[in-house]
Homo-oligomer: A and B are copies of this chain.
Amino acid sequence: MTENFRINLTPDDVPKNWYNILADLPLELPKPKNSEGKDQISDLQKVFTKTALEQEFATERNIKIPNEVRELYMQMGRPSPLVRARRLEEKLNTPAKIYFKREDTSPTGSHKLNSAIPQVYFAKQEGVENLTTETGAGQWGTALSLAGSLLDVDITVYMVKVSFNQKPDRKNIMNIYDGNVFASPSENTKIGREILAKTPDHPGSLGVAISEAMEEALEKDNVKYSLGSVLNHVMLHQTVIGQEIKTQLEIAEEEPDVMVACAGGGSNLAGSLFPFIKDKIDGNSDTEFIAVEPSACPTLTEGNYEYDFGDTNGFTPMLKMFTLGHDFVAPSVHAGGLRYHGMSPIVSLLVKENIINPTTAQQRDAFNAGMTFAKCEGVLPAPETTHAIKAGIDEAIKAKQTGEEKTIVVNFSGHGMLDLKGYAKFIDGSMKNC
């Protein structure tokens, strides 16, 4: 009865620094570069805040979290609990211990607030009055809207039109936090108007939404652009997750044998795993790190490691990363947050160097794992998170076969309360396995 299967930390345990893995990579990270005849890198300097760009290329191992940001982390519920999935272990009849890190306990239901708060804070410090961004599934737009509301900075979100129409609740929650949400393509921008003139019923895409959000930041004073994944400074902010897991595993007197996270642009994966990776590089740990992507968008498992654009339209500089090609269009799986053609350059390098192992899960198999998890542990995972759970369950089953008492840590990146229609399709059998 008294075994500690939920490890809560106190607000004082929120990390005081972000961990910058750039200080510890086995190879130098290839720099972004301009595409021929364009000067996209100097455009970056116009659209991003100074602090975001400084952090993008910073080399110190530890970067101090400003007091006000740390305080907001606490007030928004950090540290998040680490919980042992004892009922799931029993159901699987495995000798493995499965822990899950509950990033769903954030008010917006995912890990995204970890980067939204500092990004808005730095913008505010620099006198920026408005931040623009794009959102697909809506998690990032929701987190940035709340951060804007907490710090009194206006937020403009370009939401892919097809998602905007399909997911009114995502727009509603952004509006509650005072986010201004536009279906993209919109009449607000030159590129939006051009697209609508040619194709009035254009369904939108993440690429178009990025272009609209960046155009606003390029053209207007006191407006900057903010991105919720892929870039180094976003990975940096997310490392509060993994640092907390470290403290929690020490309290539980556990060493992780396997750590699992899903991967779209890489932010929850980086956040949970990076603080554990130096020990592996240094030969002091043999933890296995697993990145799970949807079979429908197999960037790390089937993509090429090469320079490519971050967006569909070639508006951004080129990044060295695993990519399916910037014109790749993933099937419309429910895990909208994992439908990205590219991947964080740092995560890509670590996969290339065999430090992180990628794997894939098919949609129905992932939802099936999510259902099993919810019925055992109560909490309903987001479609993205079900991918990590599927791989975690597979590892626990392997441990049963070999009889090993492995310790498996799964990053539970978000809850599925706004994704119930996806689950309904799984249950009524109309969801495709792809």
**CB-based contact B149/A377 at 8 Å:** no
Task: Select one of B1, B11, B113, B375 contacting A5, CB under 8 A.
Answer: B11
Tell me whether chain A's interface is mostly helix, strand or loop, or mixed: helix
**CB-based contact B176/A74 at 8 Å:** no
**CB-based contact A420/B375 at 8 Å:** no
**CB-based contact B4/A173 at 8 Å:** no
| Contact of A150 with B108 at beta-carbon distance under 8 Å, contacts A71-B1, A75-B377 already known | no
Could you mark each residue 1-39 of chain A with 1 if its beta carbon is under 8 Å from any beta carbon of chain B, else 0?
Answer: 110111010111000000000000000000000000000
Q: How far does the Cβ of A359 sit from chain B's closest Cβ, in whole Å? A: 25
Could you mark each residue 152-190 of chain A with 1 if its beta carbon is under 8 Å from any beta carbon of chain B, else 0?
Answer: 000000000000000011001101111000000000000
> Does A338 lie at the interface of the complex (its beta carbon under 8 Å from any beta carbon of B)?
no
Q: How far does the Cβ of A233 sit from chain B's closest Cβ, in whole Å? A: 23
> Does A427 lie at the interface of the complex (its beta carbon under 8 Å from any beta carbon of B)?
yes
> Does A146 lie at the interface of the complex (its beta carbon under 8 Å from any beta carbon of B)?
yes
Q: How far does the Cβ of A42 sit from chain B's closest Cβ, in whole Å? A: 37
Q: How far does the Cβ of A106 sit from chain B's closest Cβ, in whole Å? A: 8
Could you mark each residue 251-272 of chain A with 1 if its beta carbon is under 8 Å from any beta carbon of chain B, else 0?
Answer: 0000000000000000000000
> Does A380 lie at the interface of the complex (its beta carbon under 8 Å from any beta carbon of B)?
yes
Closest residue on chain B to residue A148 by CB atoms = B375
> Does A417 lie at the interface of the complex (its beta carbon under 8 Å from any beta carbon of B)?
yes
A77-109 interface with B by 8 A CB criterion: 77, 86-87, 105-109
CA A105 – CA B149 in complex, angstroms?
A: 22
Closest residue on chain B to residue A367 by CB atoms = B176
| Contact of A146 with B378 at beta-carbon distance under 8 Å, contacts A109-B417, A172-B420, A173-B420 already known | yes
Task: Select one of B1, B108, B371 contacting A176, CB under 8 A.
Answer: B371
> Does A199 lie at the interface of the complex (its beta carbon under 8 Å from any beta carbon of B)?
no
Could you mark each residue 171-215 of chain A with 1 if its beta carbon is under 8 Å from any beta carbon of chain B, else 0?
Answer: 011011110000000000000000000000000000000000000
> Does A329 lie at the interface of the complex (its beta carbon under 8 Å from any beta carbon of B)?
no
**CB-based contact B107/A5 at 8 Å:** no
Q: How far does the Cβ of A279 sit from chain B's closest Cβ, in whole Å? A: 29
Q: Which residues of B contact A74 (CB under 8 A)?
A: 5-6
CA A213 – CA B84 in complex, angstroms?
A: 36
> Does A67 lie at the interface of the complex (its beta carbon under 8 Å from any beta carbon of B)?
yes
> Does A41 lie at the interface of the complex (its beta carbon under 8 Å from any beta carbon of B)?
no
Q: How far does the Cβ of A14 sit from chain B's closest Cβ, in whole Å? A: 10
**CB-based contact A378/B75 at 8 Å:** yes
Q: Which residues of B contact A108 (CB under 8 A)?
A: 378
Task: Select one of B2, B11, B375, B376 contacting A4, CB under 8 A.
Answer: B11
**CB-based contact A5/B75 at 8 Å:** yes
> Does A423 lie at the interface of the complex (its beta carbon under 8 Å from any beta carbon of B)?
yes
| Contact of A375 with B177 at beta-carbon distance under 8 Å, contacts A8-B10, A11-B5, A420-B172 already known | yes
Task: Select one of B2, B10, B421 contacting A12, CB under 8 A.
Answer: B2
Closest residue on chain B to residue A152 by CB atoms = B375
**CB-based contact A424/B150 at 8 Å:** no
Q: How far does the Cβ of A120 sit from chain B's closest Cβ, in whole Å? A: 13
Could you mark each residue 224-248 of chain A with 1 if its beta carbon is under 8 Å from any beta carbon of chain B, else 0?
Answer: 0000000000000000000000000
Q: How far does the Cβ of A389 sit from chain B's closest Cβ, in whole Å? A: 14
**CB-based contact B8/A427 at 8 Å:** no
Q: Which residues of B contact A8 (CB under 8 A)?
A: 8, 10
What are 19 A-B residue pairs whose CB atoms fall within 8 Å in the complex? A4-B10, A4-B11, A6-B74, A8-B10, A75-B87, A77-B378, A106-B378, A107-B378, A107-B380, A109-B417, A168-B420, A169-B421, A172-B423, A173-B380, A173-B423, A175-B423, A175-B424, A176-B420, A177-B375
Residues of A within 8 A of B (CB): 1-2, 4-6, 8, 10-12, 67, 70-71, 74-77, 86-87, 105-109, 113, 146, 149-150, 168-169, 172-173, 175-178, 371, 374-380, 417-418, 420-421, 423-424, 427
13 further interface pairs, Cβ-Cβ under 8 Å (given A176-B380, A176-B420): A5-B75, A6-B74, A75-B86, A75-B87, A77-B378, A106-B378, A107-B374, A109-B417, A149-B375, A150-B376, A150-B378, A168-B421, A168-B424
